[in-house]
Structure 1
Amino acid sequence: MKPSKIGLIGIPAAIIGIIVMMVVPMPPFLLDLLLAFNLLLSVLIMLVALRVTRPLDFSIFPALLLIATLFRLSLNISSTRLVLSQGYAGKVIEAFGDFVIGGSLVVGLVIFIILMVIQFVVITNGAGRVAEVAARFTLDALPGKQMAVDADLNSGLIDEAEARQRRKEVSSEADFYGAMDGASKFVKGDAIASVVITIVNLVGGFAIGMLQQGLSAGEAMKRYSQMSVGDGLVSQIAALLLSVATGLVVTRATTEQDMGSEMMTQFGKQKQAMQIAGGAILTLGLIPGLPKLPFILLGVGALFVATRMTEGGPVETPVEPDLDALPATPQKDSPLAIAQDMRVEPLELELAYDLIDLVDAASGGDLLDRVRALRRKLAQEIGIVVPLVRTRDNLDLPPRHYAIRVHGVEVARGQAPAGMVLAIGDDLDALPGTPTQEPVFGLDAKWVPAELREHVALANSTVVDRSSVVTTHMAEVVRVHAADLLGREDVKMLVDMVKQSNPVVIEELTPQPLSLGEVQRTLQSLLAERVCIRDLVRIFEAMSMRAKVSPDPEGLVEAARTALGPAIAASHAVDGRLSVMTFDPLLEQRMLETLRQGESGSFLVLDPMLAERIAIETGRVAQAAEAAGDPPVLVCAGPLRLAVRRLLETSAPRTPVLSYSELGGQLTLVTSGVVNVAEVTAA
């Protein structure tokens, strides 16, 4: 059976079996077998802890420690049941009891107590403290490590795959030390449980022997103390091995060798220290009254080992570096390095100094994780790979503020005061806080203390945390500026992606009749109107067909929109219903008569007052429909669509403009209004 199947089936079955062992009686022979297996498992875990080169190589250790502790406690319960019910718990426990007690109960108990002190006071407490400190320091350093990875990625020192791997390692390291902090408590609790179980066995066995079996006090103590101490010793040896393994894992620094090899390498570099130690031990052997033979043998042995060592470690022959194999990292003051520092990032998020807690995982900040999730979400929503967001602090920003930049230009700014949440609703006057506006839709809102979150929710207001405010604002900025964020390299990547699955489509599209720049311009025009470009195959097919007739940009865009028409209309529908508003037929006819073609595309030759009235009336009808909870789309004749879109960019920027050919037959159309300016037309 494959290891994966063993882990999938065997481990859950073993855990269930451990639970069953706590309630089902077990024969002595099976208990002997499981006690021996427990010792084997503990030895194996300790040896693996010795051989790993870094803690993450044994990342399963916290969970394994819990399972091993539970297994050992289930064995204690089974052995206690046999000791108290039968006075016999198998040959393993009996042998350990005879070996340790050696005819003296006091000696056995003293040895058992010493083992308990070593495990509980020395190893367990020390390992628990180291795990706690390591977890705290690792979590405190997590934001800095993540930002360092982002900085290396943005500077071009590493690629996306390596950055993803480094982020995963940083996150796994934090998770591991956090888990070890909790797992160390299992070891401590296990030590306490072992003491309690041993005392219960001694007292309970003594009482059962005298009261139920009629034994004398001496006979009962001799019979049950042997079993109790043997049981405790078997458990404590395994527990001691796991405690040592815990200490080794949490105190292990990341190196290139296992612990044994690293120890020999580092000691092998200390020739002078070995000479001094050998001389000191040899001197002790010369002091009258002390035994000479052990000190002289050890002193001479240490001096002999020192003669075989080289000061500072072995001298390695320098190897000339292979210049061709060295990474092409520019010098700090080289023109290339300066040029890299001058590079403008496509998308940046700047935080004021008092907002750093948003990216500090130790303080509960999850902004970086949300931004990464936002990139994946937007890729599905708009169809492009959003550039990496460079997050950094900016001391020039006012307190509580953040800024979003696109190609180095600040396009949005907002606030996210510490210790506050954003309440959005109609009746916020009764709430304490600072009035503001929601940054995306401009809704009335108020920053209120975070401790009033539940009170705000009960007042039928929406509560938004600071990280959600920032990520929502950034998402809207990306949607608005998606066309600016689509670069030539991004288009090349999209074309190559389609080429792998549909090579014929790309062969007909590029390099003739369209260039990569013309493809980019068409995709940017679609993104500017918030059209998702995920369906690149149909977009490219429509573009290639249109390009055979005319490669004009406006025609390419309209051809692509027609191909995507049902999807575009469906994206604005709610439950299969599409709210539409139209122009008055006479007004639409007049607009068609004034339609002209220019170098930058089609436009309307209208009287300025009429054009202004059309824009105002369209905005009014759209706002009325939105207020009724039914956001509409404006539908017009295909030739007018782009010209109308340009006319409404200021008065109704959020109102989509569709042509009649883009309406899918699968939707139910609901009329929400008619734009009619007949009185102005008649004038």
Structure 2
Amino acid sequence: MSARDLSVLLGVILIIIMLVIPLPGWLLSILILTNISLALIVILVTMNTQEALDFAIFPSLLLLLTLFRLGLNVSTTRSILSEADAGNVVDTFGDFVTGGNPFVGFVVFLILVIIQFIVITKGAERVSEVSARFTLDAMPGKQMSIDADLNAGMITEQQAKDRREKIENEADFYGAMDGASKFVKGDAIAGIVIVLVNIIFGFIIGMTQFGLTAGETVDVFLRLTVGDGLVSQIPAILIATATGIIVTRVAAEGNLSHDVTGQLFRYPKLLYVAAGTIFLLGFTPIHFMLTTLIAAILGVGGFYLDRAQEKQQAQEEESSLEETEQQEVQTPDNVVDLLNMDPIEFEFGYALIPIADANQGGDLLDRVVMIRRQLALELGVVIPVVRIRDNIQLNPNEYQLKIKGNEVAKGELYLNHYLAMSPGMEDETIEGIDTVEPAFGLPAKWITEDMKDEAELSGYTVVDPPSVVSTHITEIIKKYANQLLGREETQQLIDHLKQSYPTLVEEVTPEHLSVGEIQKVLAKLLEEQVSVRNLPIIFETLADYGKMTNDTDLLAEYCRQSLSVQITKMYASPDYKMKVITLSPQVEKQIAEHIQQTEHGNFLSMDPETQQKVIESIHNQASQAFMDDASPVLLCSPAIRRYVKQMIGRYLTDVVVLSYNELEPDLEVESAGVVNIA
């Protein structure tokens, strides 16, 4: 334990000792001066902080100093009543204030206590309470503002994390200050009670035990009481003032002294007005020389401040000019900055600006934040920030989505319309602009608002433009999630998993599998829309099989089999049934026989004619399944599943390929067709 930590602990122990054991006068004097010094340091620190969080320990420090001051009050009261002496400091303060008249000194002390209790302490308590309430009420809005900035790309993930942490710390600080200010109020009340105890019981003890006369008793005990009250109330006033300063402090560029002088004298010409007013007061019975002197000081101060301000403005203009010239010399911009590329970009024409502009009621930023959260839950990966910007090169109602700089999707929106998707039977009375729903390619129409109710009655699914584009963005990101998962993102997932499963992570990487190999396995799962959120199961599988092979394709298949519960629930019906298309033994055999093994991996080497026949047969069976309102799921043996997917993936993107090992035993499987070739 360091000396600094030990000093704080010893200080707390000393407070407990003061409450129980009588202390000599010389030690009380040292502790009283220490108390005054600490209070002075605290108020000076609060005046020099730029933000309240710069002095975050203040609530706890306030409690300790209050307890220390109360301990001193107990010790000095004990000494005053038992020995009629509380040390040289108390006696000196009492003599100085009373000045030979105890009653006048007591009145002065009483005024000081009233000011401290009613004005400073009461105000600090109220401000603390209001600050805590408003800080807590403002938290949701601040959090949404951070999410919007993050989503717009104005800040990074780390900056967003730091700002959220600052908001939480502010709420904790002002909440603690609200409670700590109650101690300041209680301390003021305790000070008044202690003064009354010293006066009443000191008068009784002085006349009964010390044999003093009434006058001598009043002189001795009232003087000591006033001195004791002063040495405790002066630090109390400083601490209460510091409490008020720190809870009313608004974040600024400088400390309190800098802000007061800078803002109070921001307009030097106003000092001339004040000087003229004071000078005119000299023609009243007020002393003419005094008002003239003060007016002269104000006038001279305004003159010098005015000149200093003009000089500062000139320097700022010169500095700004030099900076502009330097930027012109350095243009074009740093070439390295041009190499940066946003992972996801959403660009739109000028007519679509209202969907992204919060001032015009647009909520696209909030929707994108929710999309990222939704995909994090569904896919198990953190989707990068979506950069949203307008692009005047696009048509007014057009938008496009880019993944790593490449356009992957585009569409059109009509803001004053609704997208009505056909139920299958067209209603000729529903008029609109024919189009295609961008996310799933369904036939649809853009209809006006007065046609909305009629379209819904006709069975159309009616969606507003922000929902259309949100769904499109969601589906596109799902489709390209495997490309968005790089090594850096994979390392973040590994680090997150390591916090809960350190042994499991250490067994997999880096000894058996590198980050790049793990990234390839996760990307292959995401490529077929398999969520990697259940990382513990995936890493358990990699730990078991990573020692035997580093073939990422094979490891991905093992992981799929370990995720059989998850995959089964993805494609099974609500009654836990699944209609599947199976490969005939002949087709499975032909595919298995054409798998070639090389040192660079395994691949399917089947002649194009046979492949075409297999693909056509699968297409026919899948089309029949679509007509029967069943999702086409192709079931085959584990050994050939990935090769079948590779073969049909480019042509039949909607066909899901599963192996027998990826289905749960209690799933009821119904055959919807068999793939044969002549």
TM-score normalised over the length of structure 1: 0.59
CA distance in structure 1 between the aligned counterparts of 2:494 and 2:86, rounded to whole angstroms: 72
| One-letter amino acid of the structure 2 residue matched with residue 302 of structure 1 | L
Q: List aligned pairs for 1:159-308, cutoff 5 A.
A: 159-288=156-285, 290-308=286-304
SS of 2:309 mapped into structure 1: coil
**Which residue is 2:485 aligned to?**
490
Counterpart in the other structure of 1:524 = 526
Q: Matches of 2:269 and 2:252 in 1, distance apart?
A: 24
Contact map agreement 1:25 1:78 (CA 8 A) in 2: yes
2:6 corresponds to 1:39: no
For the structure 1 residues 608 and 51, does the alpha-carbon distance in structure 2 shift closer, same or farther, using more than 3 Å as the test? closer
Q: Deviations over 1:92-130 (max 9, x none)?
A: 111111111222221121111111122112222222233
Q: Does residue 1:90 correspond to 2:52, yes or no?
A: no
Structural mapping, 1:306-455, within 5 Å: 306-310=302-306, 313-315=309-311, 316-317=313-314, 318=317, 319=319, 320=321, 321=324, 323=327, 340=347, 384-386=381-383
CA distance change for structure 1 residues 276 and 116 in 2, over 3 Å: closer, same or farther? same
- Measure the CA separation in 2 of the matches of 1:369 and 1:220: 76
Equivalent residue number for residue 11 of structure 1 = 8
Paired residue secondary structure (2:253): coil
Does the residue aligned with 2:306 lie in a helix, a strand or coil?
A: coil
Aligned residue type for 2:112: L
Q: Distance in 1 between matches of 2:331 and 2:176?
A: 39
For 1:275-297, what per-residue CA distance to the aligned partner results, in whole angstroms no more than 9, with x for missing partners? 22222223333434x33443232
Unaligned runs of 5+ in 1: 329-335, 349-355, 360-367, 391-406, 410-477, 511-515, 547-555, 573-580, 582-586, 613-633, 645-655, 664-669, 678-683
Q: Can you list the C-alpha shifts for 1:315-373, whole angstroms capped at 9, x where unaligned?
A: 42313335479999xxxxxxx9x965679xxxx9xxxxxxx9xx9xxxxxxxx99999x
Give the drift of 1:531.
7.0
Q: 1:582-634 CA deviation, whole Å, 9 max, x = no partner?
A: xxxxx99999779889689999989989x99xxxxxxxxxxxxxxxxxxxxx9
Task: Give me the whole-angstrom Cα distance separating, in 2, the residues matched to 1:18 and 1:152.
Answer: 49
Shift of 1:67: 1.5
| Structure-2 change in CA distance of 1:676 and 1:276 (3 Å) | closer
Following the alignment from structure 2 to structure 1, what is the Cα–Cα distance between the partners of residues 227 and 49? 33
Matched-pair contact (CA < 8 Å) for 2:479–2:529: no
Relative distance call for 1:117 and 1:488 in structure 2 (3 A) is same
Q: Which residue of 2 aligns with 1:127?
A: 124
Secondary structure of the corresponding residue to residue 266 of structure 2:
coil
Q: How much has 1:84 moved relative to structure 2?
A: 1.9
> Does the CA-based 8 Å contact 2:525-2:560 persist in structure 1?
no
How many angstroms apart in 1 are the aligned matches of 2:542 and 2:175? 49
Distance change (3 Å), C-alpha of 1:640 and 1:523: closer
Cα distance, 1:52 vs structure 2 = 1.5
Residues in 2 aligned to 1:86 and 1:408: alpha-carbon distance in whole angstroms: 91
Counterpart CA distance in 2 for 1:130 and 1:193 is 22
Matched residue, 2:48: 51
What are the within-5 Å matches in structure 2 for residues 528-567 of structure 1? Answer: 528=530, 532=534, 535=539, 538=542, 545-546=550-551, 557=553, 559-561=554-556, 564=559
Amino acid at match of 1:307: F
Quickly say closer, same or farther: Cα 1:375–1:637, change in 2 above 3 A.
closer
- Number of aligned residue pairs: give it: 521
Q: What letter is aligned with 2:152?
A: S
Please report the RMSD computed on the Cα atoms of aligned residues, expressed in angstroms.
6.0
| Structure 1 pair 521–36 and aligned structure 2 pair: CA distance change class (3 A) | closer
Distance 2:201 2:246 in 1: 38
Letter in 2 for 1:154: N
Are residues 408 and 9 of structure 1, via their aligned partners in 2, closer, same or farther at CA, if it must alter by over 3 Å?
farther
One-letter code aligned to 1:296: T
Check conservation: 2:93, 2:230, Cα contact below 8 A. yes
Q: Which residue of structure 2 aligns with residue 99 of structure 1?
A: 96
* Distance in 2 of aligned mates of 1:408 and 1:26: 83
Structure 1's 538 and 208: CA in aligned 2 closer, same or farther, altered over 3 A?
A: same
Q: Residue 523 of structure 1 aligns to which amino acid in structure 2? A: L
- Classify 1:87/1:37 alpha carbon distance in 2 versus 1 (closer, same or farther; 3 Å): same
**How many angstroms does 1:36 deviate by?**
0.7
| 479 and 260 in structure 1: CA distance in 2 versus 1, 3 angstrom threshold | closer
**Secondary structure class of the residue paired with 1:201:** helix
Cα distance, 1:641 vs structure 2: 9.7
Q: Is the contact made by 2:491 and 2:515 (CA closer than 8 Å) also made in structure 1?
A: no
Call closer, same or farther: CA 1:408–1:76 in 2, change over 3 Å.
Answer: farther
Aligned counterpart in structure 2 of residue 108 of structure 1, from 105, 110, 128: 105
Deviation at 1:43, TM superposition (A): 0.4
**Which one of 136, 139, 162 corresponds to residue 136 of structure 2?**
139
Aligned-partner residue type, residue 53 of structure 2: L
Change (3 A) 1:314 1:66: farther
How far the C-alpha of 1:305 sits from its partner, in A, is 1.9
State the 1:482 CA deviation: 9.3
Following superposition, the deviation at residue 37 of structure 1 comes to: 0.6
CA offset at residue 509 of structure 1?
6.3
Equivalent position amino acid for 1:246 in 2: T
CA distance in 2, matches of 1:536, 1:483: 25
Cα offset, 1:308, TM superposition: 1.7
Alpha-carbon distance, 1:7 to partner:
5.3
Which ranges of structure 2 fall in alignment gaps of 5 or more residues?
334-341, 356-362, 388-408, 412-472, 496-508, 568-576, 578-582, 593-609, 626-634, 646-656, 672-678
- Structure 1 residue 33: Cα displacement: 1.2
Q: Would you say 1:75 and 2:64 are equivalent positions?
A: no
1:151 aligns with 2:153: no
CA distance in 2, matches of 1:187, 1:136: 19
Does the 8 Å contact 2:48/2:257 carry over to 1? yes
Distance 2:331 2:169 in 1: 30
Superposed CA offset, 1:203-241 (max 9, x none): 122222233334333333322222221111100000111
- Which has the higher mean CA deviation after the structures are superposed, 125-134 or 47-56? 125-134
Deviations 1:473-493 (A, max 9, x none): xxxxx9999954725233353
- Which AA in structure 1 matches 2:233? Q
- C-alpha contact (below 8 Å) 1:595/1:603 kept by paired residues: no
- Tell me the CA shift for residue 197 of structure 1: 1.0
Contact 2:123 2:244 in 1 (8 A): yes
1:131 shift after superposition: 2.6
Inter-partner Cα distance in structure 1 for 2:562 and 2:21: 62
**SS of residue in 2 equivalent to 1:237:** helix
Q: Distance in 2 between matches of 1:110 and 1:307?
A: 44
Residue 398 of structure 1 is matched in structure 2 by none
